[in-house]
Chain A
């Protein structure tokens, strides 16, 4: 990665050619004094970048002179992106969502696998598909619950002046809003007939996310703050503006509550306001009787539900007649309070679907859109019609688009690729990875589009690509990487390879971490990867002097080669030193290696060998004939014992020269000498074999031994005859 040191204390990346946007600059605090001499950049785990800044090496004298605590360099860790969800969610909340959502995701995919197995063909057949969207709906609902349950608990005693949700209730998050939007359009087939009403509900929950300042919600929140201090609410233009805004987007319960704050309801007042109060109450009644094309309403919401289009149209006509009737009523003349009269008539105009009044009442184009759906074109159904309407509203009320509105536009333009790309940009990889299943739930076309293998993506589909992106984000954090395999395993083309890389890149220092990694290998039947990991762990521990753990991992991975090498090394060292300490080490190693040394009874040999070596040492320092006899006995025992490794024959034979040259008569008899000669012969033959381990010996060593043996044989024959 290119980077140039600047004279300030920040690093600036090079501008990329051909990019219209200026490159973002991220100042990096490294706290070093300029000038910076060198910068090293290397990738750490996942999205973590290690940046090492070095100052110029100090001059010799300079170093002596300057004794302050000026450091020569510093390594800084930089976390790049890494946002699994949008920015306003805390890091731990993101991890929580990642943990929780994997259950639902894995469950849905298990279902998919079992359904696919049930059906003979590759594609799900018609009956399976009808079940399928229900499974997906279940999945979608469980994910929605994970994202936060914003349903508020109503206080036992309601303050009449509180018409908005209390502020302390968990703020809605954009990710959830986007998720619900996709659920509305892609998954729930029962909702199709009352799609507009569903959008009204959606806006009610998430209106505050559209924009910070220019929404109905912000208008009402302002009013809510002021309303307690207002003396005469109906004199305030804000009150009527808020009423119109709430009505335009269909928050009928808020409208009714607000209207009941009207001063004419006050029982102790001086002037006569019966007519005025009657008019207000009539509007409240009309508002609460508004026909709604939906199966039901949650408690506290107003309107009259109609199930079928036919009933709805009939109801709507009747209700509209009532509204027009009130509008042209003679009572308005008797209403003395002008703001009330104007405000109420404005409300009636909105109810009657007057485009101008609606446009004035709403702030955001999406609100205008919802308003149109409610009052002007309540029967709009197809995506195309909605798309045209949205375009018109955007034209009428140009407002800044954010992630949510672009998502809606993408959905209405029926382009799943744009929907996913917008989601990724606005809400991060989590939502995209989980939303692919929503998009493909009911549409074979989308299913084909997103799950088709593409050559330019290395055989992966678009859906898989998004899954891989999310898995990568998960893998970059030491606490969430264990969740990533569940997603990688569903990626048929490249998931396996990436999963292997992920597992192999886990640290091998801590055995508990290794065991956790091995557990995942076991789960996904990656036997060769677990062998690799165990070998790496073995090497690490062996290198750091933890012989026990090292050999344990080699044994677990059945690494015969390395165990064999260790055994050879061990035998090479045996005999070089006879101190108790090193002997204890060999003993321990021999015990650990056990049958892996390739000889049975390795420990028994070791003990005998030591005994022999010790007694031989005594003889060299001038021992008795008794001691020499004992040594000879041990030597013969060692040579007869099949567990003595062949590689020890020659050193033993060499050692035997000292005994063979014993001054007061031969110590070995004819048969024993023959035994040694036989071994020598066998050894000379074995020397020709490629797997022979000789160790370092003098070139004429074999000759010396042969000569000594021959001499001894002669002496022994003479003695015995």
Chain B
């Protein structure tokens, strides 16, 4: 059904740690993984699934590690990849960084986690907060208090333990949005959407029932109300704590939140956005394969507003050399490991226009796509958050709106 075994490899393919869950695939098969991957890389045709005979390797890469699952069945591939990413998440929460060293330093805990996260190829409990209640890094602690299974593990509410207490009950709600725009060489917006998420930091006692109200257009048209600006959410994804069937029937977002920080939901809004920063670029070729790239950036938003920390990335071919830059504001530098020029503008006032000239030795100028990271405003807002708990305490919800850098790609003529 899913994985036969899970391996954590270093970049050379050495097995750092592994766990054989089903025993139906020879564990030595993993030795073929790196050579096959190298071969694919050479051919420029890498693929997340690698096949050798009857064995299939599904892999992801994280920092200096490969996480690989093997199987010889018709496994649920999406489940395997989700699980591998979950593995990264759990390990990261346990060891801060997931890398070669942290695996080696914590091999006992890693084995314990691998044992608890998956059984016979079936993912089990993967919520790191709950896991931390009974798999701890300090082994000595175990001897004193005999560890019990938290009932949470098998509860219907598997993400929150009972008996949590806070003196002051508070919820912090962060609405974080980023905009993704793809703009054509002739300036037309080819696709744009806003990807947002609501993050919670819950500091509430007991088992509170929360209800979140949004300016969701579907809900408003359902109830026949029309209070100002509403947003059409294209697609919404919820944390497992949200009662999906309830949302499906009456668009109510009701849930018992996990304690501490969590991502409650993410959504996508299809809107037509005007790029806030307009980019034009001109590439001039001189003799001796010298090339000059001129990039012009113009702020297309209100004069009073300022965009902070704007980054403009200009991809250049990997064989570029001896770069020189001139900017009218901010600073530009060449990042050879990512094959791009990074132009950073600390503060970008509306209506202004800036220039950057980059001078290169380029044997082959082929393509040019720019990426801009900047800030954006939000239409989406939280209308209310209701908190109900048996003990009837007063709780304070705090809402904060943040815009994060989105992915804003402009294609320009080479």
Do A and B belong to a common assembly? no
* Interfacial residues, chain A to chain B (CB-CB below 8 A): none
* Interfacial residues, chain B to chain A (CB-CB below 8 A): none
